[in-house]
Amino acid sequence: MNIAPSNLSHGELYGLILNSVAPRPIAWVSTLSASGRPNLAPFSFFNCVCVEPPLLAFAPGLRPPKQPGSALGEAPGEAKDTLRNIRETKEFVVNIVTYAVAEAMNQTSGEYDASVNEFELAQIAAAQSQIVKVPRVAASPVSFECQLYQILDFSPSPESGSLVIGQIVSIHVDDSHIKQGKLDRNSLDLIGRMGGIQYTRTTQRFEMVRPKVG
């Protein structure tokens, strides 16, 4: 079977992509509004994109339009609080998500009003960052403090969004995950996003040695 994206509805294309491009790492992004209100939300359109300079990127979609009776495609979607905060303050923190905080992460995924502090809602402790003003998630084993590098805005349709690229300026690593001076990747019980409401854990692994060429 061969499928042209233009022949699929938004929901069909969304489901096909998210069920096949998986597992996806999760960025638990903390931000502050211009007035200093904390926000915390997860995004699974996320990955590292460069080491020199050290860049992380995630893609927040748009919220559906609030206008009553608005048909899809007639009214522009609304920017999520995370994206709006980053535009205003130019900084954010990407917190890595482990199985131990999965429920709290999921709690912060709701489309809450901007007045809601998701740290308090999910009863997750915040910790002070080193360089940026944005607090990090204290229970996250690794947190990346980022300053805004670039925002790429896609089409203004209600189903679209933006790509936020941040430059890492400081990294917090929990000492309990340090072994012989390095991050012990085997101690990180990370989770990944699958399609729908499914997630996976990184507790089952296998190794393969890359081929030597030449």
Q: Determine, yes or no, domain membership for 46.
A: yes
Q: Determine, yes or no, domain membership for 211.
A: no
The amino acid sitting at 76 is: P
Query: pLDDT value at position 143?
Result: 98
Query: Is 29 a residue whose pLDDT tops 90?
Result: yes
Query: Is 71 a residue whose pLDDT tops 60?
Result: no
Q: Determine, yes or no, domain membership for 82.
A: yes
Provide the percentage of residues in the chain whose pLDDT is more than 90. 83
Query: pLDDT value at position 67?
Result: 57
Q: Determine, yes or no, domain membership for 39.
A: yes
Mean pLDDT rounded to a whole number for the chain: 92
Q: Determine, yes or no, domain membership for 77.
A: yes
Domains identified in the chain, total number: 1
Residue 161's CATH number: 2.30.110.10
Q: Determine, yes or no, domain membership for 167.
A: yes
The amino acid sitting at 140 is: S
| Residue 203 in tokens | 């507790």
**Domain containing residue 192:** 5-201
Q: Determine, yes or no, domain membership for 206.
A: no
Query: pLDDT value at position 62?
Result: 76
* Measured distance CA(45)–CA(61) in Å, rounded: 9
Query: pLDDT value at position 126?
Result: 98
Note the pLDDT tens digit of each residue in 94-128.
999 999 999 999 999 999 999 999 999 999 999 99
Note the pLDDT tens digit of each residue in 149-196.
999 998 766 667 899 999 999 999 999 999 999 999 999 999 999 999
Contacts of 49 (CB under 8 A, 6+ apart): 55, 56, 57, 165
Provide the percentage of residues in the chain whose pLDDT is more than 70. 92
The whole-number average pLDDT for the span 69-77 is: 51
Q: Determine, yes or no, domain membership for 177.
A: yes
Please state the pTM of the whole predicted model.
0.92
* Measured distance CA(169)–CA(25) in Å, rounded: 20
The whole-number average pLDDT for the span 42-63 is: 94
| Cβ 166 vs Cβ 148: under 8 Å | yes
Alpha helices in 108-184 (DSSP H): 118-121
